[in-house]
Amino acid sequence: MDIESVLARFRLDRRDLEATLATLFERRIDDADVYVEHVESEGLVLDEGLVKKGARAIHQGFGVRAVIGDKTGYAHADVIDRESLVEAARAARTIASESQGGGAVALDKRGGGHDLYPIGAEGDPLARDLGDKLALLEAIDKRARAYDPRITQVQASFASERKLVLVATADGRLVVDVRPLSRLSVSCIAVDAARGRRQSAGSGGGGRWEFPVFFEAEGDLARWQRWTDEAARRAVLLLEAIDAPAGTMDVVLGPGWPGILLHEAVGHGLEGDFNRRQTSAFTGMVGKQVASPLVTVVDDGTIATRRGSLNVDDEGTPSTRNVLIEGGVLKGYLQDRMNARLMGAEATGSGRRESYAHMPLPRMTNTFMLAGQDDPEEIIKGVKRGIYAVAFGGGQVDITSGRFTFSGSEAYLIEDGKVTAPVRGATFIGNGPEVLKRVVAVGHDLQLDQGIGTCGKAGQSVPVGVGLPTVRVNDLTIGGVNAGARS
């Protein structure tokens, strides 16, 4: 949508935004912006063949920010008009500073954003008939149950939203972005009544996609079919899994979703605010060797249709491709405008917020390790005894120390260079910076995840992407099911 039609939709004009910014600059401040948002969302859940939830919602609002030094004043409301904007500007300005200043801002059309997720009216998931989505979920339920008689429960859900964003900044930029986002999720429970075992597993994917993309083929199956089979397969597989061993051993991380470990254990430590406050394990390490020379880490918000991609960030800065670690050397941090200014750096298009009710923070978009030159099969063959981790579940990370703990949702033993028995209860424990130094092999098979990632920070959640090639890490601590029995 063009800027004038978006303004008209919010019943605003440029003068309203210019008056708001002028109010902010009646006193001395270092930066300011106005963020306006309109979100339409829909969710449909099929549980045990029955529609358990169907919801459609619309919400909108604005936030006004004033920044001086490292202090931020922020005010927001869900009523969008000139009076509310100016009142919020006064509140934000007062919170940020009481010193005197003055100035005015003339808005223009500069912005230079991308066009990463064009969606036509026919492909818009929100515009599709509810019956089309219900038919998809019913097909998932039927396919999952047919996969194996031990699949006893199936839940399938489809969620989509369209977020319209307008940002006016202190340097005169006025930009808009229309952000589609959809996700399909499948969860299965498998039961082996004879042995008293019950296991659950999930799969799914999505992105800033048109609805037909969920039906496109990946290999010889449609996306939704592959994800359904994956959820059912994992649930059944876990019925046969043995208890994970405990101890220090070599670990091979599979391609794709295991990149969540990189995101959590390393990526957060490379965000600008933690490093400005000197609370990250990577503080002061720019230009220094922080990882194996095999390791190059990128955060790229410019990949078309990806879940974590953005035409512009939530401060109006175009998204970019940021090389964070190159050949093991730390190159820089992810920056929003405030932290970039305070650190004497450039903003990297990383200022993100959950909604108009939240202040922007430096955040990741799509974070992944670049491919290496090793053959994935040879990487596994080189391991005498270890763990092959295909997928991860939840985890915890301490940004200051870099310590992390992750649970494996699909993992296998490696014995004499071969992948053997599936294991359950594997917990991966380590230190992010130290793990990077223990990378001894990087495969040529980089994959990005299927589009399921959501990142939490300071109470805010935003969609993200992760990725990884096959990677071998030596001497990682594994906490298994029998960890407490070890002497």
Overall CATH class of domain 125-161+182-241: alpha beta
Locate 208 and state its tokens: 């800033």
Tell me the residue ranges of DSSP E strands in 308-350. 321-326, 329-330
Residues 383, 387, 392, 395, CA torsion sign = negative
Q: What pTM, to 2 d.p., does this model score?
A: 0.94
* Residue ranges matching CATH 3.30.160 in the chain: 125-161+182-241
- Quick one: DSSP state of residue 284? T
By CB atoms closer than 10 A (0-12, 13-18, 19+), residue 83 is exposed
C-alpha to C-alpha distances, 347 to 280, 315, 320, 334, nearest whole angstrom: 19, 10, 10, 8
Residue 241 Rama label (left phi>0; alpha psi -120 to 50; beta): beta
Q: Residue 10 is encoded by which pair of tokens?
A: 């919010």
Give CA 468 to chain center in angstroms.
14
Residue by residue, pLDDT tens for the chain (487 residues) are 789 999 999 999 999 999 999 999 988 899 999 999 999 999 999 999 999 999 999 999 999 999 999 999 999 999 999 999 999 999 999 888 754 444 455 666 555 679 999 988 778 999 999 999 999 999 999 999 999 999 999 999 999 999 999 999 999 999 999 999 999 999 999 999 999 999 999 999 999 999 999 999 988 999 999 999 999 999 999 999 999 999 999 999 999 999 999 998 899 999 999 999 999 999 999 999 999 999 999 999 999 999 999 999 999 999 999 999 999 999 999 999 999 999 999 999 999 999 999 999 999 999 999 999 999 999 999 999 999 999 998 778 888 888 999 999 999 999 999 999 999 999 999 999 999 999 999 999 999 999 999 999 999 999 999 999 999 999 999 997 654 333 2
How many residues does this entry show for the chain? 487
Considering only CA atoms, which of 297, 336, 300, 325 is closest in space to residue 457? 336
Give the tokens for residue 430.
Answer: 């380590």
Instruction: Single out the residue of 264, 252, 262, 268 nearest to residue 296, CA to CA.
Output: 262
29 vs 93: CA distance, rounded Å: 8
Distance CA 267, CA 297 (A): 9
pLDDT at 28: 87
- The H or E element that residue 213 is part of is none
CA distance 174 to 185: 36
Place of tokens 């001086």: 68
d(CA 303, CA 89): 35
Residue 305 CB: number of other CB atoms within 10 A? 17
What pLDDT shows up at residue 100?
43
In this prediction, residue 396 carries a pLDDT of 82
